[in-house]
């Protein structure tokens, strides 16, 4: 930087600080008016920060749940049909989801790293009795542990041999353990499911749970589950008297790294449509596509929030302009005195711009605090996950500063154009 530029920057700095001090003095003399002027900025910025934090929390929770499903996984879900007549029509052309479907898929899809069928059962009774909701039983093979990324925190997972021999063993999710054995170590204990006794061999770490249905997957507490070997559930707990039931109600497939998930999903859909005769009694969930769609939804949500912010802050900016114009009328004589003692137009312009910017900046900072408080209150009262992101804070701060500058230009220019002689005569 040249000496001339250094002198210029120092001069501007020396001019700017007195303007800030004078602006604080003027705003302090009119505390109530300044506060009322800031209200538009406070409420606008507060609403934007709180809405974006609530939305970001909900989006992140859903995306974390989808990531937990596995971006290399495919999930085939049997469609539940409650109308018995419709179900009978479907069974005339389709046997429903079966273990044979899984075997055909394993034969035709070469790069599967893991796969399992799932049988889901809601017990009619358990002993000990659950303190809250009845846990569901998942019949799965040991490969499900890899597919779902389950972590054992106590004991162990069951083996392939235990699955093949239909061993009466099971593993509890964290909520199921608290539900059935709240006050003692559950590993090694026995649990009666319907009329069958199972020995508990492990406890799982907690998993994320979606609060609502996600694209073909119904909402379910993933921690209030009892996991047992697939064959144990089929032979010990399954009621096979009704031909209308699906033999299995879910298939989980994990693809090898680098495999094109969309093309494999097309192959699986073709295989099942052929064996089910296009009955439409299943759905395929692709977590990787759900995650991409959720990210697009989040981007759209953020754009909508920016639009809402623009409207609310526009109202606040109009309020600032209105008050600054009224302030010029009150301070016309003061402006004339300043011009008479040597102040230039740009000095007056800068003074009013600094005041308008300070109003919007202080209002924006108070609004950020207000929005943070609202989001915390919502999190405590409603039990929702809220996240105040740096993006929302920076957006609110920058927009509030810009509003002060943009809407302060016209009043500041009007003040700077006042004739000094006429201003001195003004009473």
- pLDDT tens digit sequence for 230-265: 999 999 997 765 566 778 999 999 999 888 888 999
Coil vs helix vs strand at 412: helix
Q: Please check the confidence at residue 110 and state whether its pLDDT lies above 80.
A: yes
Residues 235 and 208 in one domain: yes
Model pLDDT, residue 282: 93
Contact 206, 66 (CB under 8 A): no
Q: Please check the confidence at residue 4 and state whether its pLDDT lies above 50.
A: no
Residues 58 and 86 in one domain: no
Let me know if residue 60 belongs to a domain: yes
SS3 content of the chain, % helix, strand, coil (to 5): 60, 15, 25
Residues 104 and 248 in one domain: yes
Residues 309 and 260 in one domain: no
Tell me the average pLDDT across 325-342: 75
Q: Please check the confidence at residue 129 and state whether its pLDDT lies above 60.
A: yes
Number of domains present in the structure of the chain? 2
Let me know if residue 75 belongs to a domain: no
pTM of the predicted protein model: 0.70
Range of the domain at 350: 15-65+293-425
Q: Strand 169-172 and strand 196-204: pairing?
A: parallel
Let me know if residue 34 belongs to a domain: yes
Residues 248 and 189 in one domain: yes
Let me know if residue 156 belongs to a domain: yes
Residues 257 and 352 in one domain: no
Residue 214: which of 372, 55, 58, 43 has the closest Cα? Answer: 58
Residues 158 and 192 in one domain: yes
Ranking 2-11, 166-175, 281-290 by mean pLDDT, the lowest is 2-11
Let me know if residue 8 belongs to a domain: no
Tell me the average pLDDT across 213-241: 82
Beta-carbon count within 10 A of 77 CB: 17
Let me know if residue 2 belongs to a domain: no
Let me know if residue 3 belongs to a domain: no
- Domain boundary (280, 303, 330) is at 280
Largest CA distance in the chain: 104
Let me know if residue 5 belongs to a domain: no
């Amino acid at each position: 930087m040249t000496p001339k530029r250094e002198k210029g920057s120092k001069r501007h700095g020396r001019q700017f600080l007195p303007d800030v001090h004078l602006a604080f003095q003027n705003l302090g003399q009119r505390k109530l008016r300044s506060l009322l002027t800031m209200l538009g900025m406070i409420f606008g910025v507060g609403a934007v920060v709180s809405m974006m934090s609530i939305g970001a929390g909900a989006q992140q929770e859903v995306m974390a749940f989808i990531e937990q499903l596995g971006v290399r996984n495919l999930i085939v879900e049997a469609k539940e049909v409650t109308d018995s007549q419709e179900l009978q029509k479907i069974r005339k052309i389709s046997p429903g989801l079966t273990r044979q479907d899984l075997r055909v898929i394993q034969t035709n899809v070469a790069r599967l790293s893991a796969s399992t069928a799932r049988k889901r059962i809601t017990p009619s009774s358990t002993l000990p009795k659950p303190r809250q909701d009845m846990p569901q039983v998942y019949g799965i093979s040991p490969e499900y542990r890899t597919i779902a990324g389950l972590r054992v925190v106590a004991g162990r997972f069951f083996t392939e041999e235990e699955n093949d021999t239909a061993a009466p063993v099971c593993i509890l999710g964290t909520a199921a353990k608290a539900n059935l054995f709240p006050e003692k170590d559950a590993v090694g204990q026995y649990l009666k499911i319907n009329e069958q006794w199972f020995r508990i061999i492990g406890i799982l770490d907690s998993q994320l749970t979606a609060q609502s249905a996600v694209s073909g997957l119904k909402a379910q507490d993933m921690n209030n589950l009892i996991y047992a070997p697939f064959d144990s559930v089929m032979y010990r707990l399954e009621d096979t008297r009704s031909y209308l039931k699906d033999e299995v109600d879910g298939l989980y497939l994990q693809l090898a790294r680098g495999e094109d998930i969309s093309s494999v999903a097309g192959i699986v859909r073709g295989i099942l449509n052929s064996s089910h005769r296009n009955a439409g009694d299943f759905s395929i969930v692709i977590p990787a596509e759900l995650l991409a769609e959720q990210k697009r939804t989040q981007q759209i949500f953020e754009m909508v929030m920016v639009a809402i912010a623009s409207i609310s802050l526009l109202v606040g900016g109009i309020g600032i302009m209105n008050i600054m114009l009224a302030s010029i009328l009150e301070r016309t004589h003061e402006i004339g005195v300043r011009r008479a003692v040597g102040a230039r137009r740009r000095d007056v312009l800068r003074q009013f711009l600094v005041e308008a910017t300070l109003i919007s900046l202080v209002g924006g900072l108070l609004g950020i605090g207000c929005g943070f408080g609202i989001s915390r209150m919502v999190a405590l009262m409603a039990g929702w996950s809220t996240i105040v992101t740096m993006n929302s804070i920076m957006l609110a701060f920058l927009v509030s500063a810009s509003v002060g500058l943009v809407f302060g230009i016209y009043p500041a220019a009007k003040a700077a154009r006042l004739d000094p002689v006429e201003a001195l005569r003004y009473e």
